[in-house]
Amino acid sequence: MSLFVTKIVDEWGTSYSLTGAGYSVLVALIVALLLIACYLTGGKHKISTKQLVFSAAAMALGMITSFLKLFEAPMGGSVTLFSMLFICCIGYWYGLRVGIITSVAYGLLQLISDPYIISLPQMVTDYLLAFGALGLSGLFCNQKNGLIKGYLAGVLGRYFFAFLSGLIFFAAYAEGSGMSAPVYSLAYNGSYLGCEAVLTLVVLAIPAVSKSFAQVKRMAVE
């Protein structure tokens, strides 16, 4: 493991930072995932250049807005400027398989940009599974009000894995809060994810915004 990560011990415990080789592996994984997405959508539903461009643009917007934080929780997690919405759009446009694969790739990008690693299982849960769950928006890609339903599915999926991570890997933070570890994890992760979700749904309820996203989908799928 020392080839890919560097061990850090401080007053908060033991964590790991990525080395140059670690970053290289993550970049290779992102490329591999995107190639897999192309392969899985081959045949009659082969992914087009337009689909790649729109997906890449949504991921780029998701990354940019993830740095625009309206609120940052003290031990990780933040309310961003609608970053989850842009990632959920990919599944909403192109379905479950492409949505999940590109969301996992987005999780790897988040790991590259802002890593916090205490163990391999925690890294997988917090980055690959939690962010990858945003691709569940693809379950509603062809349904009425699919963007809202898909967004809620993606956020709830991320919330589940964030709760699981808090319960398993960060239960010690519940000490002194007066709450049990499960309740603390539900409350802590729900505070920032719920706040961003509510703000996003309020914005999506604006008719002009809703029409704009519907127009973007037509451009993305035609």
Among the residues of the chain, which ranges form H helices?
20-40, 49-66, 83-94, 96-113, 120-123, 130-132, 146-169, 181-204, 207-221
Check if the beta carbon of residue 97 is closer than 8 Å to that of residue 138: yes
Phi (first) and psi of residue 106, to 5 degrees = -65, -40
Q: How far apart are the first and last CA of the chain?
A: 46
Q: What six digits make up the tokens of 40?
A: 């899985």
The pLDDT of residue 92 is above 60: yes
Residue 184 has pLDDT above 60, yes or no: yes
Phi-psi region at 42: left, alpha or beta (left = phi > 0; alpha = psi -120 to 50): beta
User: What pLDDT is attached to residue 175?
Assistant: 86
What was the pLDDT predicted at 49? 78
Q: Is the pLDDT of residue 150 over 90?
A: yes
Point out which residues pair with 18 in neighbouring strands. Answer: 5
Q: State phi, psi for 105 to the nearest 5 degrees.
A: -60, -40
Q: What is the dihedral of CA 191, 199, 55, 57, to 10 degrees?
A: -110
Kindly report the average pLDDT of the chain as a whole number: 87
**Strand partners for 14:** 9
How many whole angstroms separate alpha carbon 190 and alpha carbon 159? 7
By the 8 A CB rule, do 127 and 110 touch? yes
Give pTM, 2 decimals: 0.86
Tell whether the model's pLDDT for residue 18 goes beyond 90. no
Question: CA-to-CA distance for 214 and 212, rounded, in angstroms?
Answer: 5
Q: Which two tokens stand for residue 212?
A: 């704009």
Supply the pLDDT for residue 45: 57
Q: Write down the pLDDT at residue 12.
A: 53
Contact 197, 137 (CB under 8 A): no
Pick from 6-10, 41-45, 56-60, 71-75: least confident: 41-45
Residue 179 is classified by DSSP as S
Distance between CA atoms of residues 63 and 65, nearest Å: 6
pLDDT at 2 (0 to 100): 64
